[in-house]
Structure 1
Amino acid sequence: MILLNSNAQQIFWLGRYLTRIQYACGQFPFLDNQDALQYAHGFCLPAFDASSLNSLFLDAEQPSSFSQQFQYAKDNIQDLRGVLSAKAYAELNQLIKNAHENATYICDVAGDCHEVIEAESEDVFLFFSLGQNIEQLDRQIRLKQDQAVTLNNLNKVVELLTQIGWDKLDDAWQQLKLNPDNMNFYQFSDHIQNLFEVDV
């Protein structure tokens, strides 16, 4: 299947949102104030301790809440109706249809959605994997976590992208590999965004 760039972009962001939700779910509820403060500073969130960060995740009005992040993922899934297999779309639609604002339930559904996408075509899974790994690397840079596994996974994804004509990422990727910092990450992300917006 040949994906339109707009569809590839939606799959990419679905990978990012689901990965973001799943990581936050794994940390929630925050119990240590220092850990919570590091997370809040890393993502520029208006929280100052574990309690305020936990409240933010549960506040449906907050852009970084479980509810809002899941809504973004739901929107991407709806937009992919003509791209995903009928079976996958039906499964995903049933999952998100039953989801409500209970944080634990959203965490379970995010994991289930992840599994459905992984069983899709190679092209779909490729851009989903790109989104997953970009989200993980973004978090690891922000929170000063180990990046070795993610960089290795991204290297494989970039090689596969090159094979389908996305060869304009290589220079920015080499820079990011050498120096995985904020500046090189944003430059690489910009290159990805540019490729989504033009015919390749």
Structure 2
Amino acid sequence: MILLSTNAQNIFWLGRYLTRIQYLCSQFPFKNNTSALDYAHAFCLPAFDASSLNEMILDSEQPASFHQQFQNAKNNIYDLRGVISAQSFAELNQLLQQAEKNAGFICDVCDECNDVLEAEEDELLFLFFSLGQKMEQLDRQIRLKQTSVQTLHALDGLIERLDQQGMASLPDAWGELKKQPDSMRYYHFSDHIDSLFEMVRL
């Protein structure tokens, strides 16, 4: 299957949102003020200690909250109806309904949604979903000054596979980022990712 550019973007951003929520779930609730401030500063959030950051994450009106991030993921899933298999969509829809009935299930539901999507057999779906996951991980690792060796290695394999699909606009920018993973090169590479979607056609 060859995806429409909008569908490729949807599956890419779905990978990013689910990964973002999963990491936030692994950190919440923040207990250490220093760690909370590091996270808040890295993502430009107006929190001043662990307590205020936790309140923000639980405030459904805040863009960085569990609720808003989950809504973004949910919208991407609904936009992919007809692209992912009918069985996967039915499973995802059931999971989404569970989380809508009880927001406390969001973390578990995101893990299960991730498992469903990783089981999809279409190679392009898998590639763009995995690309979204790894780009989100690398973004966070650069922002928080975490080790990124494993993520860079995984991305290297994905870029090679995309190149084999005829999407040759990535390797040069990727080479620069791989040599020196910093914010400037990350955003430069992200721009190439955006242009890559224009190459994806039905």
1:198 CA displacement:
4.4
Identity %: 64
Q: TM-score, normalised by structure 1?
A: 0.97
Give the equivalent residue in structure 2 for 1:155: 156
Contact 1:60 1:101 in 2 (8 A): no
Per-residue CA shift, 1:107-141, capped at 9, x if unaligned? Answer: 01000000000010221111000000000000000
- Provide the rounded CA distance (Å) in 2 between the counterparts of 1:124 and 1:96: 20
- The letter for the 1-side match of 2:127 is L
Give the equivalent residue in structure 2 for 1:38: 38
Give the equivalent residue in structure 2 for 1:85: 85
- Provide the rounded CA distance (Å) in 2 between the counterparts of 1:194 and 1:64: 26
1:197 CA displacement:
3.0
Per-residue CA shift, 1:148-186, capped at 9, x if unaligned? Answer: 000000000000100111111011000000110000000
- Provide the rounded CA distance (Å) in 2 between the counterparts of 1:3 and 1:87: 19
1:15 CA displacement:
0.1
- The letter for the 2-side match of 1:10 is N
- Provide the rounded CA distance (Å) in 1 between the counterparts of 2:138 and 2:88: 27
Distance 1:54 1:161, change over 3 A: same
Unaligned runs of 5+ in 1: none
Q: Which has the higher contact order (CA 8 A, sep 6+)?
A: 2
Any runs of at least 4 consecutive aligned residues in structure 1 with deviations exceeding 4 A, and if so which?
none
- Provide the rounded CA distance (Å) in 1 between the counterparts of 2:26 and 2:185: 27
Q: Number of aligned residue pairs: give it.
A: 200
Per-residue CA shift, 1:64-88, capped at 9, x if unaligned? Answer: 0000000000000000001000000
Contact 2:15 2:130 in 1 (8 A): yes
Q: Aligned-residue CA RMSD in angstroms?
A: 1.2
